[in-house]
Amino acid sequence: MVPVVSLLTLIATWSSEPATVVLVVVGALLAGSVLAAVHHAEVVAHRVGEPFGSLVLAVAVTVIEVALIVTLMVSGGSETATLARDTVFAAVMITCNGIVGLSLLVGALRQGVASFNAEGTATALATVSTLATLSLVLPRFTTSSPGPVFSPAQLVFAAVASIGLYGLFVFVQTVRHRDYFLPVGADPAGEEHAAPPSDRQAAVSLGLLVIALVAVVGLAKIESPPIEDAVDAIGAPQSAVGVVIALLVLAPETLAALRNARRDRVQISFNLAFGSAMASIGLTIPAIAVASIWLEGPLELGLGATQMVLLAITVVVGGLTVLPGRATLQEGGVHLALVAAFLFLAVNP
């Protein structure tokens, strides 16, 4: 019932300015929708098997997130010129450091050493790194247009390259080298010991998953004005709002990743983390390229110096973490330190 009640609440409060009591209720429903999304995503994942299950949750969340970004940019005008950049970069840092670090921490605490498939994880990290560089770093150094923006031709190239690389990765993950993305020690079919749900149960859960994710993103948007007020009150930059929204939107993937890590399925946690980062870039940039036809003002995609340093060290540390196929508490702590630095500097640049 939680996804349905949350969706009805979203419809009832969408165009209004809710009172404080209503915002508290919205916050409670937001948390409930996150938990419901994780549950129904696991039901769908159990039915379709891995890595399809991770792909379903990552793509579903990202599609709705992209819709939210485009909607806010269309309604916000020139003040939202950096919204896509801030949201995508926040998603990359939260997934590649926050979710990865927490998953390693939980997995290593249970087993001493967290094991995963180095081939698949390294492929995912390489794709995320390339997508982030093409879409978020290069605009800072191109010269066709003034400022950290792409020219129209460059934006089209970035969009085509992003969706092409993401599509190729999905093919490799689900068809060509599916075994690279299965948990270490799993059977080739990725089957669970428990009986999978019926087609009807999976279809119902898929529908409720979509409803829950729509509710998560929509209710997060309703909560954004008080978040903006809080950001202004502490003197933080406007980009911090995108970070908070990204944290809320990525909550379902974070909880799902932690559950899998507790079950010694760190590879599935990595599939969720890197898959979400990849989908965030690979789907957002093409959508923004199309939306730029009617968007007002410049579209700033280039990262600042501090952000580029954080991205560079994330790529280096990520490579050192995934290549051995095994990681300890130390690697988890390093990734968590990086996401903590990102969050701190987002509030106090």
Least confident of 162-171, 186-195, 223-232, 313-322: 186-195
Question: What letter would DSSP give residue 139?
Answer: G
pLDDT of res. 193: 52
Domain residues for 140? 2-347
DSSP for 51-85, written as a single string: THHHHHHHHHHHHHHHHHHHHHHHHHGGGGTTHHH
CATH number of the domain that 77 lies in? 1.20.1420.30
Question: In this structure, how many other beta carbons lie within 10 angstroms of the beta carbon of residue 164?
Answer: 12
Question: Given this model, what pLDDT does residue 344 score?
Answer: 92
Question: pLDDT grade, residue 318 (50/70/90)?
Answer: very high
| For residue 321, pLDDT beyond 80 | yes
pLDDT above 50 (res 189): no
187 pLDDT more than 50: no
> Distance between CA atoms of 275 and 271, rounded to whole angstroms?
5
* pLDDT top residue among 7 and 220: 7
Structure tokens at 265: 């399925």
Number of compact structural domains in the chain: 1
Say if residue 289's pLDDT is above 50. Answer: yes
pTM confidence score: 0.81
Q: Give the tens place of pLDDT for each residue, 5-59.
A: 988 888 888 777 778 788 888 888 888 887 787 788 778 877 877 677 767 777 7
Instruction: Round to whole Å and give the CA distance between 182 and 190.
Output: 7
